[in-house]
Structure 1
Amino acid sequence: MAAGSKKVIYAALIGNGLIAITKFFAAAYTGSSAMLSEGIHSLVDTGNQGLLLYGLKKAKQPADEKHPFGYGVELYFWAFVVAILIFAVGAGISIYEGIQKIIDPHPITSPIVAYVVLGLAIVFEAGAWWVAYKEFNKVRGKRSILKAVRDSKDPAVFTVLFEDTAAMLGLIVALVGLLAVQILGLPWLDGAASVTIGLILAATAAFLAYETKGLLVGESAAPEVVDTIRNLVEATPTVSRMNEIRTLHRGPQDVLLALSVDFEDRLTAGAVEEAIYALEVAIKRQFPIVRRVFIEVQATRHHREMLAAERAALDPDA
């Protein structure tokens, strides 16, 4: 999904950069608080796309002595930073500017300029949103958008998709705010539109922070992947019982797999080694995203004893 992620990010980066410049020009020319909020929003989005690209680049670094499992989590970290920036910078400044305009309203000059800029921005933003939506749809399948985001292990695409969605909503709010100012003659409505844009950004940031936090803390592979691996191991003739399976996404295309397996007692050490090798090859062939496989040879009774000891250590009062 890395190629798709970069395509989405580059499209958003170019679009938001051009839109930000245009919005700031229009805000300075018209004095619109909502337009200034939109300019800040686009500038923050442009910086965010740069951070996501940096995260993708860092995630590709090979494993080394200091980071033996690689740098895949870098992408998750920078996606979380993006969510924080949307909240702290985008939402914070928009709400502040809006409150200032409500307290001290002043008329908007040359609103036609603002309308032209908003119209162009909606067209450009819609194009960037469509690119992100198409890439997201490639992996969504028949799932709902919310379910697909919850299941997704690639924050780059859904972060840009939700950023662009928030941008589209913000543009519509800014347009409605300008129209309301002209029709009703109430300049403070421009500030109210700015506050509304800030609240949209805050809600988007909170959702993205929640989703990326889960990835950063560590999420398991998709249930169908786990079930297939479980069935594959249990169907192996030399396996007496699979005690436990644990998976961890270290990146969108990087899964760490740990297994505890009880092999048949009659097997020699050499036969167990061959069985482990065959299992690892079979798992990686079916799921290339499983980059590292660790198989622990353990009697079932010993595994249960270790689990009990682990639970006792975590909760001594139990």
Structure 2
Amino acid sequence: MSARVPRAVYYALASNIVVALCKFAAAAYTNSGATLAEAAHSSADCLNQVLLIAGRRASSEQPDEMHPLGFGRETHFYAVLVALQFFLIGGLLSVGIGVWRLWHGATLDHLGIAAGVLLGSAAVEGFALRASIRSIDRRHRKGGLWRWFRETGQVEVMLSIGEDSAALAGVLVSLAGTALAAATGWPGFDALGSIGVGCVMMTTAVVSLREIKSLIVGEAARTGVRNEMRAWLEAREEIERVVSLVVLRWSDSLVVAVQAEMVAQRSADELVRTVDRIEHALQDAFPDARWVFFEPELLEHGDHPP
């Protein structure tokens, strides 16, 4: 398995480092809680990208006797750490900053500078999000970004796009709080903006954890992929009927298990050669199918669950 880290992760890391430094400087100068929450948000994102890169490196280890399918799912463990860190450090810390400032009635200075930094951050985050989305294969996002998010096995890209989306939404929430504080003269709106940033982050973390859990439990490939694979198998002249087809996502790859009634073969050796030919042809037609397990079935064995 390749150790290549998806470009979306690097896009997110680079943008978050630049944005975090700008936000911390602006927060220190303006005493804006919403901007400070955004700085914490971007700092959490930086740590997240480092964890995702570490996870991808760990997943590149070669299969061994105890892990015959490799270490591809190592990325899921790191993804859980990322989502939990996003919830605890990013989300709860932002809410805590907002609550503390709301309780103590902290004042604000130089709101124009804070707004300017946030607008600049929105531009950077928007560019990073666009670049991350464009890194997805066009075929995989035909059904829309949300469908891709629900069906992808690339947890690093999923989390990077989720974080970029949350970052952009958080900046807009912070801008709204800062603008209202400037318009009304009540700094509480800035504190509420900080709380809003935390809520955005925690919501993103919960949604991401739900998807990661599904992948850890074991999730089938996209419906379109399964249908295409079944149609490909049924079109093979060596196959009489596809009895069962299971296509399981394993990180970036697929595990395929096929049971099929075969056209009568002249000998057992010929049957083995036919099965080998089908397995190799299937992997050529579907490059993501890293493991293929093909089991010939006889009609007298009865039907099997689909």
Q: TM-score, normalization: structure 2?
A: 0.90
**2:170 corresponds to:** 170
Deviation at 1:170?
1.2
Structure 2 CA distance for partners of 1:230 and 1:56, relative to 1, 3 Å: same
Q: CA separation in 2, counterparts of 1:115 and 1:19? A: 13
Q: CA separation in 1, counterparts of 2:228 and 2:179? A: 56
Q: Give yes or no for the alignment of 1:287 onto 2:286.
A: yes
**1:316 corresponds to:** none
Structure 2 CA distance for partners of 1:181 and 1:239, relative to 1, 3 Å: closer
Q: CA separation in 2, counterparts of 1:171 and 1:101? A: 18
Structure 2 CA distance for partners of 1:68 and 1:37, relative to 1, 3 Å: same
**1:154 corresponds to:** 154
Q: CA separation in 1, counterparts of 2:145 and 2:61? A: 31
Over aligned residue pairs, what C-alpha RMSD do you find? 2.3
Deviation at 1:155?
2.4
- Unaligned regions of 5+ residues in structure 1, if any? 308-318
Find the residue that maps to 1:249 and give its secondary structure: strand
Find the residue that maps to 1:18 and give its secondary structure: helix
- Summarize deviations over 1:39-81 as a string: whole Å, max 9, x none: 1100011111111112222222221112110111122332233
Find the residue that maps to 1:136 and give its secondary structure: coil
**2:231 corresponds to:** 231
**2:14 corresponds to:** 14
- Please tell me whether the aligned partners of residues 243 and 303 of structure 1 are also in contact (alpha carbons under 8 angstroms): no
Q: CA separation in 2, counterparts of 1:20 and 1:303? A: 62
- Please tell me whether the aligned partners of residues 4 and 135 of structure 1 are also in contact (alpha carbons under 8 angstroms): no
- Please tell me whether the aligned partners of residues 265 and 271 of structure 2 are also in contact (alpha carbons under 8 angstroms): no
Which amino acid letter does the alignment assign opposite residue 281 of structure 2?
A
**1:33 corresponds to:** 33
**2:267 corresponds to:** 268
Q: CA separation in 2, counterparts of 1:15 and 1:117? A: 14
Deviation at 1:211?
1.8
- Unaligned regions of 5+ residues in structure 2, if any? none
Of 206-215 and 65-74, the range deviating more from structure 2? 206-215
Which amino acid letter does the alignment assign opposite residue 291 of structure 1?
R
Of 205-214 and 106-115, the range deviating more from structure 2? 106-115
**2:110 corresponds to:** 110
Which amino acid letter does the alignment assign opposite residue 199 of structure 2?
L
Find the residue that maps to 1:224 and give its secondary structure: helix
Which amino acid letter does the alignment assign opposite residue 278 of structure 2?
L
Find the residue that maps to 1:260 and give its secondary structure: strand
Structure 2 CA distance for partners of 1:51 and 1:228, relative to 1, 3 Å: same
Q: TM-score, normalization: structure 1?
A: 0.87
Percent pairwise identity = 29
Which amino acid letter does the alignment assign opposite residue 198 of structure 1?
G
Deviation at 1:247?
1.4
Deviation at 1:115?
2.6
Aligned length: 304
**1:132 corresponds to:** 132
Deviation at 1:34?
1.0
Find the residue that maps to 2:257 and give its secondary structure: strand
Of 146-155 and 2-11, the range deviating more from structure 2? 2-11
Which amino acid letter does the alignment assign opposite residue 283 of structure 1?
L
Describe how 1:70-85 pairs up with structure 2 within 5 A.
70-85=70-85
Which amino acid letter does the alignment assign opposite residue 157 of structure 2?
V
Deviation at 1:285?
1.1
**1:201 corresponds to:** 201
